[in-house]
Amino acid sequence: MTAITVTVNGKQHHSEVEPRTLLVHYLREHLNLTGTHIGCDTSQCGACVVHVNGESVKSCTMLAVQADGANVTTIEGLAHNGQLHPVQEGFWEKHGLQCGYCTTGFIMAAADLLQKNPHPTDDEIRHGMEGNLCRCTGYENIVRAIRYASEKMAAK
């Protein structure tokens, strides 16, 4: 077992983990933050995207021990004081989901995209979301949701 200290959604956790524990398993099973999903075993679907020190990463392709000392944000930490993040609001308003399984990963990836590029074109949105797969609703409403968030953030 290895001792780690990780700040998740602003709260510091001291934990003992096996080195082989993936970050996604640590979040889901040790911290009970089950909003982060696992959709594949091949690092391709993006259902598990979280932010580590502000950058989006696939938490199934990183070890929990590698997050020692890091700041992690999951879907549970995106809203502030009951106020949805503009990307969350966009997915609600534009119906950017059907079954919802891929949604949390999409929202985390989109939040990182807008932080790097606040005014993306539709092409840039599609290119920026290459790491996330949706198997039911298609991508049209997802792009609309992200565009909604970008406009909403610009209006502030």
Partner 1 sequence: MIPSSFEYFAPTTVAEAVSLLQKYGDDAKILAGGHSLLPAMKLRLSNFGALIDINKIHELRGIHVDGNISIGAMTTYHAIESSDALKATCAILPEAVSLVGDIQVRNRGTLGGSLAHADPAADPPAVMLALDAHVHVTGPGGNRTIAIGDFFTDMLTTSLQPGEIITSITLNPLGAGEGAAYSKFPHPASRYAIVGAAAYVKLEGGKVSACRIGITGAGPKAERQASAEAALIGTDGSAEAIAKAAEHAGENMDVLSDIHAGEDYRRAMIKVYTRRALTAAVERAR
For binding to partner 1 (CB under 8 A), which residues are involved? 2, 18-22, 25, 41-44, 46, 49, 55-58, 60-63, 65-66, 109, 112-113, 128, 130-132
Query: According to the binding rule CB under 6 A, does residue 43 interact with ligand FAD?
Result: yes
Binding to ligand FES, residues 51-110 (CB under 6 A): 58, 60
The residues, ordered by sequence, that sit 6+ positions from 108 with a Cβ below 8 Å of its Cβ are: 49, 50, 51, 56, 73, 74, 75, 78
Q: Return d(Cα 59, Cα 130) in angstroms, integer.
A: 16
CB of 33 to ligand FES, least distance (A): 15
Q: Return d(Cα 154, Cα 38) in angstroms, integer.
A: 32
Q: Toward ligand FES, which CB reaches closer, 48 or 97?
A: 48
Binding to ligand FES, residues 8-47 (CB under 6 A): 38-40, 43-47
Q: Return d(Cα 149, Cα 53) in angstroms, integer.
A: 22
User: Taking CB within 5 to 8 Å according to partner kind, which of partner 1, ligand FES, ligand FAD, none is near residue 146?
Assistant: none
CB of 108 to ligand FAD, least distance (A): 16
C-beta of residue 119 within 8 angstroms of C-beta of residue 102: no
CB of 92 to ligand FES, least distance (A): 24
Are β-strands 2-8 and 71-73 bridged in parallel, bridged antiparallel, or unpaired? parallel
Q: Return d(Cα 44, Cα 102) in angstroms, integer.
A: 12
Give the binding site for ligand FAD (CB under 6 A).
43-44
